[in-house]
Amino acid sequence: MDPNTIVSLLIDERAPDQQSLQPLDEQLFHIRLANSTGQREAASVLLQKMYGWRGYDVEPYAAHLPNRITLAADNQGDTVATMSLCLDDAQIGLPADENFGDILGGLRQQGRRLCEPARLAIDRNVNMRVFAALIHISYVYAHNLHGCTDYVIEVNPRHVMFYKRMLGFHELAPERHCNRVGAPAVLLRLDLDHMREQIALHGGRMEAAKERSFYPYFFSPADEAGITVRLREGRN
């Protein structure tokens, strides 16, 4: 896929029985690759706003790294959510290597292909479906297009149970200090085969689901297949 291609996916936030009515207050979220300088700057502003509100430090986006995919969701021209997916690279590594390089090195020796979702920021007025869509699209890039086997993430200890309960992460290493945000961090891991199984069971079933996780808010397996083709071909 051409790295300069902008791939836009539309999420309609109206209730299913309202989606044909087109009310004035409808919320349509476009999720796209943030490839341009302006798009990355808008994502950086949102990051600084949301991280600063929680008392964390965050560096603005620097020059685009070749192993990083940045996604952004916008509503009526405003960036309301963003996250990056860092693919493991022999020279660059992953952001988590700074604090947990010894742990990640052990996984690499086992033949695991790692990637790291990072720099997640979501406006407080945006609901969980946009969060789920960002994660699902990052999974498509990581697992379906790049053959990654595991997510690894650094999270504040206060958020560990959220990621365990809502996505199925497991603790990989206990708390260490993260200089990048000036706060403690715990290293979590998610086998992407587990995510694939949960998407197959629950994806796209948010109206009827009893599952208490984010997976019903993911796309359906059929939608995922179509998204994978579009992203592989670089089509809008």
According to DSSP, residue 77 is labeled T
pLDDT at 137 over 60: yes
pTM: 0.78
Q: Report how far residue 7's alpha carbon sits from residue 84's, in angstroms, rounded to the nearest whole number.
A: 15
More reliable by pLDDT, 60 or 8: 60
In the chain, where are the structural domains located? 8-233
CATH of 8-233, one of 1.10.3720.10, 3.20.20.70, 3.40.630.30, 3.30.750.24: 3.40.630.30
- pLDDT 10s digits, 147-193: 999 999 999 899 899 999 999 999 999 999 988 777 899 999 999 99
pLDDT at 236 (0 to 100) = 46
Which residues neighbour 66 within 8 Å (Cβ) at sequence distance 6 or greater?
A: 89, 92
pLDDT value for 228 = 92
The mean pLDDT of the chain is 77
